[in-house]
Amino acid sequence: MYEDFCASISCIFGKINANLNIDITTGDVITPKEINYFYSKILEEGTIPIMTYTIETILAEKFETISSRNITTTRARDFYDLYMIYSIYKDKIDKDILSKAIERTSKYRGSFETALQYKEIVELLRESEIPKELWKKYTQNNPYAKDVDFLDTVSIFEEIGTVLNVNDDTK
């Protein structure tokens, strides 16, 4: 189906030592297509071009992972990522592209029918203690997430799912 790789790079600049982890994925569908993103350099002028997914595709992958694993998930970070990315970029997200990205990603992964059941998944996530406990542990280990309530992440998941109702041809 698709492959995930993680590259770990040790960076040394003068007295600064840092480890950089880069997730590399191949084989997934990108909707509408990959984009060239320009990362600003920190220590000097200029940018570094990197081919990357669109925001809509990133959200689609997170949405698909949450919907396909629902209460059995062990990946609380997907909830956090979905919540933060959507919250930050909400006004820039093209809902039609997001709908198509969710459809294409979940069909590619064989979980489109499950994605269409997002309302039922929302209820399971709200009622089950399993993901809430997972979230509690995640926020204890990742203080940057401590001010985010799990049910708020579920509400964002639900809001994103509504784009599947926009186009009747996705059903």
> pLDDT by residue (tens digit) across 125-155?
999 999 999 999 999 999 999 999 999 999 9
> Taking the domains of the chain in order of start, what are their residue ranges?
3-52, 55-166
CA distances from 31 to 15, 74, 102, 123 (A): 41, 26, 9, 28
Please check whether residue 29 is in contact with residue 108, taking contact to mean a CB–CB distance below 8 angstroms. yes
- What is residue 168's predicted lDDT score, i.e. its pLDDT? 47
φ/ψ of residue 19, rounded to 5: -105, 135
Residue 170, pLDDT score: 42
60-80 burial, b at 16+ Cβ within 10 Å, e below that, comes to bbbbbbbbbbbeebeebebbb
Angstrom CA distances, 103 to 32, 61, 96, stand at: 12, 10, 11
Question: pLDDT by residue (tens digit) across 80-125?
Answer: 999 999 999 999 999 999 999 999 999 999 999 999 999 999 999 9
- HSE at residue 38, side-chain half, CA atoms within 13 A, is 4
Tokens linked to 49:
């071009």
